Amino acid sequence: MNREVAAVRATFSLGRVAGIRVGVHWSVLVIFVLILVGLAGGSFREAHPDRPAWQYWLASAVTAVLFMLSLLAHELSHALVARRNGVSVEDITLWLLGGLARLRSEAATPGAELRIAGVGPLVSVLLGGLFALAAGLLAAVSEAGLAVEALAWLAGINILLAVFNALPAAPLDGGRLLRAAVWRKTGSPLRGTAVATAAGRFLGWALVAIGLYLVLLGAVFSGIWLVVIGWFVIALATVEGGQARLRELLGGIPVSDAMTPDPVTVPAATTITEFLADPSYRYRHSAFPVVNGKDTAAGLVTLERADAVAEPERPSTLVTDVMVPVGELPTPHPDDPLAPLVPELQSNPAHRALVLDGSRLAGIVTSSDISRVTSWLSPSSAWRKRTL
């Protein structure tokens, strides 16, 4: 899966691969435990009985780790191809339903979209083939039954992952391929997104229905698992559709129309004590731009960060010591389009952007500003349609 905005946040970080942040969501433990228990207590034990218990558990643990690395390779391929096609990558997160590569922007052309989406299933097929080849070679030269079983399982699961992700429905990779095809045919990326998200919701509800049917037949675990997957597919497809409609709504609107110009600022030399005690800041906002000299942006100080400083240290601690540096914030120009800023605000922990004209602070944009603009545009768009 790959999207410009992800609904899943990493619980902890694994570091960087090829310069891209890689994180793991806590829900990965669910997958790991399911694979561990399912293989050690089921498939491996049934295929090769009378082995010591520790061998089943060791083989299952190694298999689970290799599966997670396969998911990482799948998502990393999306991220690397996206970067080569001019799409910046926020990070990769492994989670309950596999992996998620967060892209900061959209592909510029249908061809780029096709390459970014298509490489993931191709990598999974390639991994499946490599694991199958390794299983065949190992079976031919040794009696390592559990190792062969593990490699065969990894081959099958990677092929299954490729097939599932190739289904033409958002948010799966196949949904992106469908979007690229409709985009190429109609010339409208929004139309492509609408078709792909509609297909995603259809697939999600179909999975829910099949899952409920399996529960009625007595296959409770498999049924509930399908219901969970279907529900997530519906939710993520709906999110993508909403984001596409928002991009259409904000089309042609510059950042300057949404920003608060000349915001209240905090001089860089201000201490935490002065900042918290100054009545000009109190009750106004929960975050303020920090400036050096004449409106040169340095960062953003939040009330939460300032309040976290211990009281004895506040007189000697500057706001610059606790601020979010300007390099870690979205910094659009006033004339930049507003729509691409929305995913950056959503993905940035501060949920604010400093609008810069060169190095000079021109304004600030928050998620509330975006909501205000969309509130004004939505009814006026409807009014225009009624009067045409």
DSSP string, 300-322: EEEHHHHHTS-GGGGGG-BHHHH
> What's the rounded Cα separation, in Å, for the pair 194 and 179?
8
**241 token code pair:** 């559709």
In tens, the pLDDT along 198-211 reads 999 999 999 999 99
> What's the rounded Cα separation, in Å, for the pair 285 and 12?
30
At residue 9, the pLDDT reads 64
At residue 311, the pLDDT reads 92
Q: Residues with catalytic annotation? A: 75
Cβ(333)–Cβ(355) below 8 Å:
yes
At residue 19, the pLDDT reads 82
Phi then psi for residue 266, to 5 deg, are -115, 120
C-alpha torsion 115→116→122→128, nearest 10: 170
CA torsion sign for 103, 170, 159, 184 is negative
Q: Which residues are paired to 12 by β-bridges?
A: 24
At residue 177, the pLDDT reads 94
At residue 218, the pLDDT reads 86
Cβ(39)–Cβ(63) below 8 Å:
yes
Which of the residues in the chain have pLDDT under 70? 1-11, 97, 104-105, 283, 378-388
**121 token code pair:** 């299933």
**pTM for the whole thing?**
0.74
